[in-house]
């Protein structure tokens, strides 16, 4: 097939077959080396993407915290306004009370004057009663001198004398009671009267209340000013967090595009027929997917499960599980059929981390045995790493693998192992079909 060839009027030797084969081998070596380099770039891109995801989660948490802080500051501001209003009302009430106290003081003074008049009148009554008693005594003496003729007059004189004694006694009692009352009123009046040099207890109490109210008002005003500063700072921080989140999203989208580009390049090289490093894992995943497809078709054919149950999408949450686990109507069948295929494929290489079948929604009914440990109550970190069965993994990688219908799909991602531990993996996915209907995907993850 090789012969002479003319170029520009001259003849040159055509390449010898040995040279062509040598060039092909060199080209293949270049492709394999390039595939490894791109794979390394993909790993770095996955790590960057994972770091950006972590930062994004932190920024989201900070954004939520800032929103919560803004709401709390708003509530505190409303409370400050309420305190200021209540303080102003209290100050007004104190002033009204002091005014009312002054009115009461005036009334008490008037009352004391009236009582003095009553006391004076009672004293006059006492004098009159004394005079009446003297007159009655003299009349009784004269009646005795008159003998039998003055007997009736003597009776009247004695009665007047007795009545005058009662009036005197009553008037003295009135004077004594009024004196006691007057003393109390004088003390009360002194309490009600304002005296800057020697304030009474009630006025001292009012003064203390007034000073406390003023201090509260001053504190509320100062707190309101501080709240204004805090609100402005909180708004500035919220704007900064929002801007940082936007910039982070731009970086995240860029890293995502970069990661997809590297995955696409690796995928194309693997699809070219060149025996790149990933080919053994691709073939293993395709073989496992085909075997699982045959097993599920056989179960349908034998009547071990209905098509509706095999394609069930009504996942029932399992109580008291964290992370949340679910059941589906095909769990019992996958527990019976899948472990043999998955465990055998898991052992095909030391690099393989897991081999699992996911339905098209990313639901893993049956995981590898080492990841099918019963959950420990109250230990979500341990559960996340060791109880990975009966869970829905609908993240970017999980859904892409579960819904892939191409012969294979290569992805690079950072896997969360729980407890803040991550590992960067490659994953090849091959579709699982049952009688021509897409059921899900075989996910085979392996280390670099």
Quick: pLDDT tens for 364-417. 999 999 999 999 999 999 999 999 999 999 998 999 999 999 999 999 888 776
Which residue, 185, 193, 194, is CA-closest to 114? 185
pLDDT 10s digits, 293-352: 999 999 999 999 999 999 999 999 999 999 999 999 999 999 999 999 999 999 999 999
State residue 170's pLDDT score. 73
Three-state SS string across 116-143, please? HHHHHHHHHHHHHHHHHHHHHHHHHHHH
CA 229 to chain centre: 24
Q: How far is CA 260 from CA 154, 297, 439, in A?
A: 139, 34, 25
State residue 47's pLDDT score. 63
- Which tokens belong to 285? 């995943």
First to last CA, the chain: 42
State residue 164's pLDDT score. 65
What is the total residue count of the chain? 448
Sequence-distant (≥ 6) Cβ neighbours of residue 365 within 8 angstroms: 328, 330, 331, 334, 335, 338, 357, 359, 389, 390
pLDDT at 207 over 60: yes
Q: Is the whole-model pTM more than 0.75?
A: no
Which residue, 423, 440, 426, is CA-closest to 352? 426
CA 99 to chain centre: 50
pLDDT 10s digits, 142-198: 777 777 766 666 677 676 767 667 776 776 777 787 778 767 777 776 666 666 666
Which residue, 376, 372, 298, 301, is CA-closest to 337? 298
State residue 240's pLDDT score. 72
d(CA 211, CA 196): 15
pLDDT 10s digits, 3-19: 333 333 333 343 444 43
Angle at Cα 124 formed by Cα 123 and Cα 130, nearest 5°? 90
Domain 278-446 has CATH 3.30.450.20: yes
Alpha helices by DSSP H, 278-408: 279-301, 307-310, 331-346, 380-386, 396-403
**DSSP helix/strand/coil, 372:** strand
Q: How far is CA 78 from CA 74, 222, 228, 232, 352, in A?
A: 6, 15, 12, 16, 60
> Hey, how many other C-beta atoms are within 10 angstroms of the C-beta on 406?
10
State residue 200's pLDDT score. 65
Report the pLDDT averaged over residues 47-57: 65
- Which tokens belong to 150? 């003055």
Sequence-distant (≥ 6) Cβ neighbours of residue 445 within 8 angstroms: 352, 353, 354, 355, 415, 425, 426, 427
User: Computed from CA positions of residues 35, 38, 44, 48, in that sequence, does the dihedral angle turn out positive or negative?
Assistant: negative
**What ranges do the domains of the chain cover?**
28-255, 278-446
State residue 206's pLDDT score. 65
The class of domain 28-255 in CATH terms is: mainly alpha
Which residue, 274, 219, 212, is CA-closest to 83? 219
pLDDT 10s digits, 225-253: 776 777 777 777 777 767 766 666 776 56
d(CA 424, CA 447): 7
State residue 195's pLDDT score. 63
Phi, psi of 379 (to 5 degrees): -130, 70
Phi, psi of 328 (to 5 degrees): -135, 165
């Amino acid at each position: 097939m090789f012969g002479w060839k003319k170029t520009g009027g001259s003849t040159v030797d055509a390449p010898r077959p040995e040279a062509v084969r040598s060039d092909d081998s060199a080209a293949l070596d270049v492709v394999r080396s390039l595939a490894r380099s791109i794979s390394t770039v993909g790993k770095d891109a996955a790590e960057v993407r994972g770091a950006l995801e972590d930062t994004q989660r932190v920024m989201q948490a900070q954004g939520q915290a800032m929103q919560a802080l803004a709401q709390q500051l708003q509530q505190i501001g409303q409370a400050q306004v309420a305190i200021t209003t209540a303080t102003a009302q209290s100050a007004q009430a104190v002033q009204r009370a002091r005014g009312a106290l002054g009115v009461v003081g005036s009334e008490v003074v008037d009352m004391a004057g009236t009582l003095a008049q009553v006391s004076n009148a009672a004293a006059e009554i006492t004098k009159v009663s004394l005079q009446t008693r003297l007159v009655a005594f003299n009349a009784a003496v004269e009646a005795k001198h008159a003998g039998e003729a003055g007997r009736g007059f003597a009776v009247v004189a004695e009665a007047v004398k007795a009545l005058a004694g009662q009036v005197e006694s009553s008037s003295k009692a009135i004077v004594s009671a009024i004196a006691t009352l007057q003393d109390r009123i004088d003390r009360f009046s002194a309490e009600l009267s304002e005296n800057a040099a020697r304030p009474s207890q009630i006025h001292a109490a009012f003064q203390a209340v007034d000073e406390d109210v003023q201090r509260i008002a001053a504190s509320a005003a100062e707190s309101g000013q501080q709240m204004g500063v805090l609100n402005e700072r909180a708004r500035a921080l919220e704007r900064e967090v929002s801007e940082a989140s936007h910039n982070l999203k731009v970086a995240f989208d860029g890293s995502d595009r970069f990661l997809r580009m590297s995955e696409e390049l690796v995928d194309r090289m693997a699809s070219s027929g060149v025996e790149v490093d990933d080919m053994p894992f691709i073939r293993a995943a395709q073989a496992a997917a085909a075997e699982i497809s045959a097993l599920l078709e056989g179960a349908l054919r034998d009547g071990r499960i209905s098509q509706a149950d095999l394609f069930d999408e009504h996942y029932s949450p399992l109580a008291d599980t964290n992370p949340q686990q679910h059941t589906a109507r095909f769990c019992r069948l996958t527990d019976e059929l899948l472990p043999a295929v998955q465990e055998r494929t898991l052992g095909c290489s030391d690099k393989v981390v897991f081999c699992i079948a996911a339905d098209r929604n990313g639901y893993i009914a049956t995981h590898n045995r080492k990841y099918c440990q019963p959950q420990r109550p109250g230990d979500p970190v341990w559960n996340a790493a060791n109880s990975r069965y009966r869970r829905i993994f609908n993240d970017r990688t999980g859904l892409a693998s579960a819904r892939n219908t191409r012969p294979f799909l290569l992805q690079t991602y950072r896997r969360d192992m729980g407890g803040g531990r991550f590992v960067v993996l490659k994953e090849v996915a091959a579709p699982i079909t049952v009688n021509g209907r897409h059921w899900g995907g075989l996910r085979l993850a392996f280390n670099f």
